[in-house]
């Protein structure tokens, strides 16, 4: 239902046509002199028709992009409780550091002697990450969590192949993030799924039954996507190792344990760290992020290039495999990776300090448990026994027989000014509602969120409210979209 205004605008929220539908081709933001007559050197290949660029004056163009930017909802706008995403505040100090001319203005092809400070920054961040995980090696170049997974699995594959032991299977728990099976498949492995037990953890017996000499690796998320610490992780690591396989840990949920657990003590061989989650750099909309991967002694030799090391004339960037005996699996990213993201993370880490990082993970877990405890009054927690880690998981049993679904509930939250939590993930519970407040949020914000959710839950349970929920959201510029069609047949190209 569009609003009843002449323009279609809602107060000062303006209907925004595509840039191609605005202006006209002849209009321009700049005045260029007539091009001089020059001899055609394109041999008849020059464009005949109009170039088809939109024509707008500068203020129209500025307004278009400014208005588009205001349609974005982000952590700077409000509480963003998406589970599994660690949407935390990015302190502006990080931005200031990343904008320092010595960092922002360097070119990746500059000689190493002119960028010693930048190399030192990469190497210092790497040392912090190795220290926080207790791991002996790190690959800094992967550009995201999923890219880090690929890096880890490529190192694992290289290690197996080096021993002449080409294994085919990667084990992935049911509750895993979709990138885990996708990465294993991309890497040429067959994915075998491991069920969860009734406590939301990996079923150890089922895992052991599937571990044999065809298994290359286990990919396990810890804390897992149910927000729970894998309490049998030491037994899991031992079983994986005994089968001659490697233990890959998805470290996207590192925010729950930074400064409290050294993952090296858990028997892990490789783990990616999402700098854009745990270490506060911005994310969303597809990047840029960074996913450095820490590696164990067993995998160290296979790490990708480039890496920074101390040479005779200061720090140097090793760009190529070194030849004899060198086992690096190669390169997976242009230049060094997302340097600007690394600077933001380093600024965050240095400004927090070791104690500050410890405090942040403690507060993140406290906040999640606050949500779990208070919301359990009306919502149904999936694993009520015991505390959770950094995120709280509920399922849709509290909506049973109300005619309201998890989706309807989430849409109603939008009208109340809350971005919905992660829905229908993880798949191990029905109609999941997964929320992760992070340490960023104050008790005041959490209380307002809790009161809102409790009142929506009470309204649903009181009965007769299903139609009302199905009509939400009412106050957004667009209401319910055909999400299936949007995903299956997206219109990616504007045609006049």
Stretch that binds ligand PLP, among 28-36, 140-148, 227-235, 457-465 (CB under 6 A): 140-148
Using CB under 6 A as the criterion, what x/- string covers residues 212-241 for binding ligand PLP?
A: ---------x---x----------------
Q: Shortest distance, CB of residue 257 to ligand PLP, whole angstroms?
A: 14
Residues 243-302 that bind ligand PLP (CB under 6 A): 250, 252, 274, 289, 291
Nearer to ligand PLP, 291 or 337 (CB): 291
- C-alpha–C-alpha distance, residues 409 and 418, integer Å: 11
Instruction: Pick from 146, 233, 263, 305 the residue near ligand PLP by CB under 6 A.
Output: 146
- Nearer Cβ to ligand PLP, position 119 or 132? 132
Window contacting ligand PLP (CB under 6 A); options: 141-149, 184-192, 294-302, 382-390: 141-149
Q: How deeply is 473 buried, as exposed, middle or buried, from its count of CB atoms within 10 A (0-12, 13-18, 19+)?
A: middle
Q: Where are the alpha helices (DSSP H) in 396-491?
A: 406-415, 443-461, 466-470, 483-488
CB 388 within 8 A of CB 227: yes
Dist. CA 41–CA 358, nearest whole Å: 64
Pick the stretch among 58-66, 138-146, 311-319, 411-419 that binds ligand PLP (CB under 6 A): 138-146
Total binding residues toward ligand PLP, as defined by CB under 6 A: 13
- Minimum gap (Å) between residue 145 Cβ and ligand PLP: 2
Taking a C-beta distance cutoff of 8 angstroms, is the pair 317, 119 a contact? yes
Site for ligand PLP in 55-84 (CB under 6 A): 84
Buried b / exposed e over 383-403, threshold 16 CB at 10 Å, is beeeebbbbbbbbbebbeebe
Non-local CB neighbours of 232 within 8 Å, separated by 6+ positions: 201, 202, 204
Out of 88, 160, 167, 177, the only residue in the binding site for ligand PLP (CB under 6 A) is 177
144 near ligand PLP, judged by CB under 6 A: yes
User: How far is residue 99's CA from residue 97's CA, in Å, rounded to a whole number?
Assistant: 5
User: Is residue 306 helix, strand or coil?
Assistant: coil
E strand spans, 99-231:
137-139, 169-173, 190-194, 215-221
- Report the nearest approach of ligand PLP to the CB of residue 253 (Å): 6
Cβ proximity to ligand PLP: between 179 and 380 the closer is: 179
**Span interacting with ligand PLP, options 143-151, 205-213, 313-321, 341-349, rule CB under 6 A:** 143-151
Using the minimum distance from each CB to ligand PLP, give the nearer residue, 393 or 465: 393
Termini Cα distance of the chain: 26
We find the least distance from the C-beta atom of residue 252 to ligand PLP, in angstroms, to be: 3
**CA distances from residue 342 to 140, 286, 308, 337, 449 in whole angstroms, order as listed:** 9, 17, 14, 9, 33
Binding residues (CB under 6 A) for ligand PLP: these are 84, 144-146, 177, 179, 221, 225, 250, 252, 274, 289, 291
């Amino acid at each position: 239902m569009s609003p009843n205004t002449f323009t279609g605008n809602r107060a000062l929220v303006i209907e925004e046509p595509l840039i191609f539908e605005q202006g006209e081709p002849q209009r321009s933001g700049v005045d260029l002199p007539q091009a001089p007559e020059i001899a055609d050197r394109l041999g008849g290949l020059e464009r005949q028709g109009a170039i088809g660029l939109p024509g707008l004056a500068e203020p129209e163009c500025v307004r278009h992009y400014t208005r588009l930017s205001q349609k974005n909802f982000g952590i700077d706008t409000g509480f963003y409780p998406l589970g599994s995403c660690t949407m935390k505040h990015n302190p502006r100090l990080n931005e200031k550091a990343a904008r320092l001319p010595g960092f922002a203005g360097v070119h990746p092809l500059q000689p190493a002697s002119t960028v010693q400070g930048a190399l030192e920054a990469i190497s210092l961040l790497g040392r912090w990450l190795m220290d926080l995980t207790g791991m002996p090696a790190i690959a800094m170049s992967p550009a995201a969590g999923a890219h880090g997974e690929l890096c880890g699995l490529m190192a694992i594959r290289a290690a197996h192949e080096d021993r002449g032991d080409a294994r085919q299977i990667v084990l992935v728990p049911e509750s895993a993030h979709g990138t885990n099976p996708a990465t294993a498949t991309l890497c040429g492995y067959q994915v075998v799924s491991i069920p969860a037990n009734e406590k939301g953890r990996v079923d150890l017996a089922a895992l052991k039954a599937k571990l044999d000499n065809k298994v290359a690796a286990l990919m396990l998320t810890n804390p897992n996507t149910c927000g729970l610490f894998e309490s049998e992780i030491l037994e899991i690591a031992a079983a994986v190792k005994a089968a001659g396989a490697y233990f890959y840990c998805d470290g996207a949920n590192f925010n729950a344990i930074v400064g409290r657990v050294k993952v090296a003590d858990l028997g892990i061989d490789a783990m990616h760290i999402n700098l854009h989650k745990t270490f506060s750099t911005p994310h969303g909309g597809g990047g840029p992020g960074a996913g450095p991967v820490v590696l164990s002694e067993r995998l160290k030799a296979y790490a990708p290039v480039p890496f920074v090391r101390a040479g005779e004339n200061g720090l140097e960037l090793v760009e190529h495999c070194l030849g004899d005996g060198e086992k690096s699996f190669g390169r997976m990213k242009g230049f060094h990776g997302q340097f600007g993201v690394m600077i933001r993370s380093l600024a965050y880490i240095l400004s927090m300090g070791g104690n500050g990082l410890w405090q942040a993970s403690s507060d993140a877990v406290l906040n999640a448990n606050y949500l779990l405890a208070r919301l359990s009054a009306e919502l149904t927690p999936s694993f009520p026994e015991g505390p959770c880690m950094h995120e709280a998981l509920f399922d849709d049993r509290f909506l049973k027989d109300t005619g309201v679904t998890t989706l309807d509930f989430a849409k109603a939250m939008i009208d109340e000014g809350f971005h919905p939590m992660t829905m229908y993930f993880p798949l191990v519970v029905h109609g999941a509602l997964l929320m992760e407040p992070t340490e960023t949020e104050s008790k005041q914000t959490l209380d307002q969120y809790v009161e809102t959710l409790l009142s929506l839950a009470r309204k649903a349970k009181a009965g007769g409210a299903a139609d009302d929920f199905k009509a939400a959201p009412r106050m957004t510029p667009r209401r319910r979209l055909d999400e299936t069609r949007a995903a299956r047949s997206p219109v990616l190209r504007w045609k006049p």
